Structure formats: C-alpha cells, structure tokens
C-alpha cells in the first residue's frame, strides 16, 4: 500500500494512522504496513457482513462508507475468522 491510498480507508482509520505516526512515533513504513493490514481486514469484513458481494473486486469496495457504528458490529469472532482466512486462504 502507498500512502496516497490512505484516503480509500474509513476516516476513523485514517485518523488512527495519523495518530500513531505523529503522536506515538511509529515509523512511516510501519504506518503504511498497518494501513495495508487494516485495508485487508476491512475488505474481508465488509464482504462477510454483506455490504458488498463476495464476488466484488477489491477495487470495487468503497471502504470510506465504514463508520463507527459499523465498526461496533465487528466481533471478536469476526477477528478470529479473519485470522483463519489469512492462514488458510492468503497463506500468511
């Protein structure tokens, strides 16, 4: 992921990324890696929760529509399922 792609993430995530770089002192490279991981996570979640069809291309997913209310619907089980997806499907 490139820094220019941050605008494709939910505003709340963009704010978090700025915070961890500016206030917490994380390196730019670390922030870019976090952004990529969060983008992958949210792409998975929006498909699982039916916001977009499972067959939709990654480029078709508008993650900027995600707000705090949607984020509150994400459960610990969703996170575990994402980890399983990463291990079994993405092989990482």
Tens digits of residue pLDDT in 14-59: 999 999 999 999 999 999 999 999 999 999 999 999 999 888 998 8
Residue 4 has pLDDT above 90, yes or no: no
Check residue 2 and give its pLDDT. 87
Please state the separation of Cα 76 from the chain's center in Å: 15
Check residue 82 and give its pLDDT. 97
Local confidence band at 78 (pLDDT 50, 70, 90 cut-offs): very high
SS3 call for 73? coil
Q: How far apart are the first and last CA of the chain?
A: 17
């Amino acid at each position: 992921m490139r820094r220019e792609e941050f605008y494709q993430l939910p505003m709340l995530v963009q704010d978090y990324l700025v915070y961890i770089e500016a206030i917490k002192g994380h390196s730019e490279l670390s922030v870019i890696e976090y952004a990529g991981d969060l983008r992958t996570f949210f792409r998975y979640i929006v498909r699982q929760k039916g916001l977009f069809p499972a067959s939709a291309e990654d480029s078709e997913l508008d993650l900027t529509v995600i707000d705090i209310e949607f984020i509150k619907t994400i459960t610990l089980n969703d996170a575990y399922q994402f980890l399983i997806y990463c291990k079994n499907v993405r092989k990482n």
